[in-house]
Chains A and B, each alone.
Chain A
Amino acid sequence: GAVVSQHPSWVICKSGTSVKIECRSLDFQATTMFWYRQFPKQSLMLMATSNEGSKATYEQGVEKDKFLINHASLTLSTLTVTSAHPEDSSFYICSARAGGTGGLGAKNIQYFGAGTRLSVL
């Protein structure tokens, strides 16, 4: 159990275009999903926290108009990088946390997708 699917795994786009990344929890309901960004040889930096049916909470310094997050259902969250520029090139990875206090939710473990490598030309 606890599988998180992230799509696409890599994308190359032209500067100025928008890119949408999907994150799905396949075998559990995720009340909360998280989006991280990772630069080469660095750790994961939290970008935003996404709760189903409500607006995302962005970390300081993350532009909410540039990184649009939607969490429309208990199994799907999307991150859209709008008007992408070369400096947005990075590895983006999502995680999902199971809801409730039993089963997978008991330990509040975050399960991660495989990540998306974005290259903006």
Chain B
Amino acid sequence: AQKITQTQPGMFVQEKEAVTLDCTYDTSDPSYGLFWYKQPSSGEMIFLIYQGSYDQQNATEGRYSLNFQKARKSANLVISASQLGDSAMYFCAMRPDTGRRALTFGSGTRLQVQP
């Protein structure tokens, strides 16, 4: 079984500053994928970034980067140069590379970007 822990229910950040959203995970699977999704108030889940457990480099997608520390089982999301449109719920998720490969989600972090 997999477990995702997001310890920050809410975060504030000033516009144009960087922010780190924490995520730790627990799994017995040797190979897995880690994901971050953004959910604005409209409800849709927007895929942001993916990190494979065997990827040597941390993933980056534009202003998003994933700080992957495998030994610590952490997969923190870093958003650089925050924008007002970044205000949303952010969910960390993981799935094993075998079996049904269903996603397990964390409880989410609500990010509010202040002008």
Chain A interface (Cβ < 8 Å from any Cβ of B): 2, 32, 34, 42-44, 46, 49, 57, 91, 93, 95, 97, 107-115, 117
Q: Which of B52, B101, B103 gathers most chain A CB within 10 Å?
A: B103
Q: Tell me if B103 and A110 are in contact (CB < 8 A).
A: yes
**Complex Cα gap A26–B104 (Å):** 25
Q: Find the B residue at minimum CB distance from A94.
A: B45
Q: Tell me if A49 and B108 are in contact (CB < 8 A).
A: no
Q: Which residues of A contact B107 (CB under 8 A)?
A: 42-43
Summed over the interface, the residue pairs from A and B with CB atoms below 8 Å come to a total of 56
Cβ-neighbour of B91 out of A43, A107, A108, A113 (below 8 A): A43
Cβ-neighbour of B45 out of A32, A49, A57, A93 (below 8 A): A93
Chain B interface, number of residues (Cβ within 8 angstroms): 23
Q: Tell me if A46 and B106 are in contact (CB < 8 A).
A: no
Q: Which residues of A contact B35 (CB under 8 A)?
A: 109-110
Q: Tell me if B52 and A107 are in contact (CB < 8 A).
A: yes
Q: Find the A residue at minimum CB distance from B92.
A: A43
Q: CB of B42 within 8 A of chain A?
A: yes
Per-residue CB contact flags for chain B residues 84-115 toward chain A (1 = under 8 Å, else 0) read: 00000001000101001111111110000000
**Complex Cα gap A97–B97 (Å):** 13
A43-B91, A107-B52 are contacts. A115–B44 as well, Cβ < 8 Å?
yes
Q: Which residues of A contact B42 (CB under 8 A)?
A: 114
**Complex Cα gap A62–B45 (Å):** 22
| The 8 residue pairs across chains A and B that have the minimum distance between CB atoms | A112-B45, A115-B43, A114-B44, A43-B105, A44-B105, A49-B100, A43-B107, A107-B50
Q: Tell me if B102 and A114 are in contact (CB < 8 A).
A: no
